[in-house]
A = this chain, B = another copy of it.
Amino acid sequence: MTASTWLGNAVLPEPPKELLGPLGVPEKTLMAPGPSNASNRVRHALQHPLLGHLHPEMCQLMDEVKAGIQYAFQTKNRLTLAISASGHGGMEACLGNILELGETVLIARCGLWGERAANMAIRIGAHVEFLDTEPGVAFTLEELEAAVKRHRPTVVFVVHAESSTGMKQPLQGVGDIVHRYGGLLIVDTVASIGGESFYADAWGVDAVYTGSQKVLGAPPGITPVTFSPAAEKKIFQRKTQVPVYYWDMTILGDYWSCFGKSTRVYHHTISATLIYGLREALAQLAEERLPNSWARHAAAAMRLEKRLAARGLEFFISNPENRLRTIISVKVPPGIDWKLVTQRAMKKYKVEIGGGLGPTVGKIFRIGLMGVNADSEHVDRVWEAFNDGLKYARTAKL
């Protein structure tokens, strides 16, 4: 039986040559703002045999993952699950479930991710208002209250860890203000959960998502989310259907058994592989415990910051309180071509260091200290690569 017996010349003559060689994947130390490296335990978990999306063993794993996500977010929300998509899918799912056509969303914008959220909200048909600060500068509670008072938003969107600048937005008190004016609070924690303290319930966060591939150290492609009872109520009282089936929480919540019903409803085929990886990543976090993980990330950040400061480098975030422990951003010194630095680090050390992103392109370096990479050994390794890169860039310039 040959191809021509099936449909003559319409068949592409040959399979692609690119696919006839072996898979090539180098080992690198990923210390840009993510993905970070996965632990051996997580990597080993990925090769387990596949399971069906409704097998009892899969349902049990989903329950374990749910408990792990509740722990990571510090919440008791029943509507807690993982979306089968990247962090951007989590952002769009939170906005798409809670926001409706014509409603107002107030977006705190001081980097790339607030901008991205606006892009998504506009597609929903929402009315977008901004609470603008300079890239790398947090808003104050007073500024927030003034903006909320003025725009009376249905939703306020805040980025906890603005990875494009390395800034941490303090969240204590934010939920109170948003709720006082009848709104709901969505928070992006893609780059913070596990590495920075975060309390969804205590801080009054109504919807939050994080990245699997950052501090948690699982593969990308699956995104933990949680919704407060108030957010859940809003979702079920929508005047219109959630515009996207794929992340409609009224159905997805049934698949994840969030609403206390006895049977699960098929929604989509979840990735067993990604569930295995996320389960093990969350299990590692549960074993270490959150306060220890936060402390480990803080210690790594301090160790690196000391070296950077001693070298005379300037931090991009001027207020030390607002510097992320998971992503350290330093200004590119005058006269240095930042690309030479990161290229050298990759070439000679196989260490990835990030440049800027969005408003910070060309202006800063971003060094990720996340998950298994947040320890003194990795700090020393990235410091050596970075310092050598800086020297090299100066020489190359001469």
Contacts and interface: CB of A to CB of B under 8 A. Distances in A.
A149 interface: no
Interface stretch (A14-22, A319-327, A331-339): A14-22
Contacts of A2: 291
Nearest to A271: B221
A398 interface: no
A84 interface: yes
A89 B246 contact: yes
Contact of A199 (B7, B34, B295): B7
30 contacts: A6-B294, A7-B202, A11-B199, A16-B71, A18-B63, A18-B64, A19-B68, A20-B287, A23-B48, A25-B276, A26-B51, A28-B52, A30-B51, A35-B50, A35-B52, A35-B269, A84-B86, A86-B270, A89-B246, A92-B244, A123-B242, A123-B244, A213-B269, A219-B272, A219-B274, A220-B270, A221-B221, A221-B271, A221-B273, A243-B243
Contacts of A221: 84, 221-222, 270-271, 273-274
Given A120-B245, A221-B273, A199 B10 contact: yes
Interface in A1-46: 1-3, 5-7, 10-12, 15-16, 18-20, 23-28, 30, 32, 34-38, 43-46
Given A25-B51, A51-B25, A271 B86 contact: yes
A278 to B, nearest CB: 11
B268 A273 contact: no
Contacts of A244: 92, 96, 123, 243-244
